[in-house]
Copies of this chain bind each other. A is one copy, B any other.
């Protein structure tokens, strides 16, 4: 269970599809791009194919055009490299294609919940990101990390550690970041390329969303409610609310932050974050959802105010 096993598998095959999960974010995108650099340097043919179009906010990443959504049919593929994916379900039609065409599946992921769905699996829950694992694969393969690969690895690590502020930030993460800077990475430029990309509409949406935040009388639960009228009046795009839950979460003494997003009439997506040992996975599971101790979610149908009340009541049951 180490990077050498992955290097061995990569050397064995010749034509690869590289993929990552739906709801593409920085770690998935940085990792597929870095994996393509690695396979190029190993003299392999590879194509990056993901289950959905790259969100507009990632459009400034150098080399992003290498990512497609259709599987080119000009070659016969041997293997699929799935990065940052917990299960085959999260790569949708590409998993189906891999099955139908009997591709060898190479699975590299840092989520403890990974299903080990590959023929070759390397799952490392201690890693901050798939990007950090990719760095270890470059080292194990003795492949030089060039400037562009360094940028992609940095983007993966920076986004999945929340710019080095989440609990997954380790000494190894910082040492890898130091080395990537020595390869020419400009940390401020990459941060701005990803996070200084707002529109005025996005700012207006954030302003309105912040106005909905409430705190329960005990001071331990904070929540925001994005109902359909608010969202529809704001030219809402997918990804516009990424990171929004950090605002209720940042209120002093708050243990659980909840975001209620009415994604359609009668359908409410509930996202939960825990600041303490309170296990929001248990709360979400009570409603048929799930996730991790500190970050979970579920989707409920019904009347918005009723859902808010039920979720908050359920949350209160888990206070330690």
Known: A170-B181, A181-B174, A203-B251. A187 touches B165 (CB 8 A): yes
Looking at the complex, which one of B170, B175, B204 makes contact with A174 (CB distance below 8 Å)? B175
**Any B CB within 8 A of the CB of A313:** no
Interface contact B164-A196, CB-CB below 8 Å = no
Interface contact A200-B163, CB-CB below 8 Å = no
Residues from 160 to 184 in A contacting B, C-beta threshold 8 Å: 163-167, 169-175, 177-179, 181-182
- Report the separation of the CA atoms of residues A250 and B60 in the bound assembly, to the nearest whole angstrom: 14
Looking at the complex, which one of B181, B192, B250 makes contact with A196 (CB distance below 8 Å)? B250
Known: A164-B164, A164-B187, A187-B165. A251 touches B206 (CB 8 A): no
Contacting residues, chain B, for A206 (C-beta < 8 A): 210
Interface contact B195-A203, CB-CB below 8 Å = no
Contacting residues, chain B, for A197 (C-beta < 8 A): 250, 252
Contacting residues, chain B, for A198 (C-beta < 8 A): 247, 250-252
Known: A169-B188, A196-B250, A197-B252. A178 touches B175 (CB 8 A): yes
Interface of A is mostly: helix
Interface residues on A, range: 35 or more
Contacting residues, chain B, for A187 (C-beta < 8 A): 164-167, 169
Contacting residues, chain B, for A229 (C-beta < 8 A): none
Contacting residues, chain B, for A188 (C-beta < 8 A): 165-167, 169
**Any B CB within 8 A of the CB of A115:** no
Looking at the complex, which one of B207, B251, B254 makes contact with A211 (CB distance below 8 Å)? B207
Task: Give A173's nearest chain B residue, CB to CB.
Answer: B178
- Report the separation of the CA atoms of residues A89 and B203 in the bound assembly, to the nearest whole angstrom: 38
Contacting residues, chain B, for A199 (C-beta < 8 A): 251-252
Contacting residues, chain B, for A172 (C-beta < 8 A): 178
**Any B CB within 8 A of the CB of A104:** no
Given contacts A169-B188, A171-B179, 12 further A-B contacts (CB under 8 A): A169-B181, A169-B187, A170-B181, A171-B178, A171-B181, A171-B182, A197-B250, A198-B251, A198-B252, A203-B210, A204-B210, A204-B211
Q: Lowest 8 CB-CB distances: which A-B pairs, in order?
A: A174-B178, A207-B210, A165-B191, A171-B178, A167-B188, A196-B250, A207-B211, A169-B187
Report 11 cross-chain contacts, Cβ distance below 8 Å, ordered by A residue.
A165-B191, A165-B195, A169-B187, A178-B178, A192-B275, A195-B250, A197-B252, A199-B251, A199-B252, A203-B251, A207-B211
